[in-house]
Amino acid sequence: MRAVAAAGADWIHFDVMDNHYVPNLTIGPMVCEAIRPHVELPIDVHLMVEPVDALIPMFAKAGANVITFHPEASRHVDRSLALIRDHGCQAGLVFNPATPLDWMDHVMDRLDLVLLMSVNPGFGGQSFLPSALDKLRQARARIDRWQAATGRAILLEIDGGVKTDNIAQIRAAGADTFVAGSAIFGKPDYAKVIAELRAQIAHGESSWA
C-alpha cells in the first residue's frame, strides 16, 4: 500500500467478498484497519457481500472513507446508503453488468459515487466487457442531469479489466474514477503504469462528451 501510494495512486480500492454474494472469499474490516495507518489516501471499500448493513459500521470504524454496495444485496437500499453517511463515509451503489441503472434514480440525493462493474464480480484479472461502455454513457447522462438540476456532483467509477489499452475509451465514455488492480499490481514498476494510465486518460478526456 505504501509503495502504490508513493507511485501516485489517488485512492486505495478495497474489495470485500463473502463467498455468498460472490463466489470468492477475501478480506474484512481487520485488514482495512491494519492498512489504515500506512496510507493517508482515501480507502474505497467495495462490499460484495450479503447482507451489507452489519459490515458498514465495522468498516467505517476500521478507517474506510467511501463504502459502496450492490443494491441487490440490501433489503432497503435507501436505509443502507443513509447508514453509510451516518457513519461519516461517502456512499455509493455498485452495478453489475446485468443490473439495471434504474436503482440509482430513486436515491440520487444519497449518492456520492456510482460504481459500474465491467466484469462479473468475484475475481480479479478478468477481461473488460465492452458493453460497459454504453452503460457508462447512460450513467453519465443520468449523473449530468442530476448535477445540472442540483449542482451536486456524483463520481462515476469503473472497475474490472481496466488497462492502459482501454482506459482512454473508458474515460471518453464518461468515467472519472478508475479501479486498476492487476494492471498495476501485476507489474514491477507501479509508478510507470500509473503514469501511463494517466496519459491515456488525458487522451480520452479530449473526446469525452
Using only C-alpha atoms, what is the Rg of the chain? Answer: 16
**123 annotated ligand binder:** yes
3-state SS track over 109-159: HHCCEEEEECCCCCCCCCCCCCHHHHHHHHHHHHHHHHHHHHCCCCEEEEE
Catalogue the E-assigned strands of 37-179: 43-48, 66-69, 90-95, 113-117, 155-159, 177-179
Set 15, 18, 112, 176: catalytic member: 15
- Is residue 78 flagged as an active site residue? no
Q: Is 63 annotated as a binding residue?
A: no
- Quote the CA–CA distance of 70 and 63 in Å, as a whole number: 20
For residue 129, the number of C-alpha atoms closer than 13 Å in the C-beta half-sphere is: 17
Q: DSSP class of residue 110?
A: G
Task: Compute how many other C-beta atoms are within 10 angstroms of the C-beta atom of residue 66.
Answer: 24
| 44 catalytically annotated | no
Q: Which of 18, 44, 159, 176 is catalytic?
A: 159
Judge whether 122 is annotated as a binding position. yes
| Bond preceding residue 29 cis, omega within 30 of 0 | no
Would you say 204 is a known binding-site residue? no
181 a known binding residue? yes
Q: Which residue's C-alpha cell is 446485468? A: 98
Query: Is residue 159 marked as binding?
Result: yes
**124 belongs to an annotated ligand binding site:** yes
How many Cβ atoms from other residues are within 10 Å of residue 25's Cβ?
A: 11
Q: Which residues are annotated as a binding site?
A: 13, 15, 46, 122-125, 159-161, 181-182
Catalytic residues: 15, 159
| Residues that constitute the known binding site for substrate | 46, 122-125, 159-161, 181-182
Positions at the binding site for a divalent metal cation: 13, 15, 46, 159
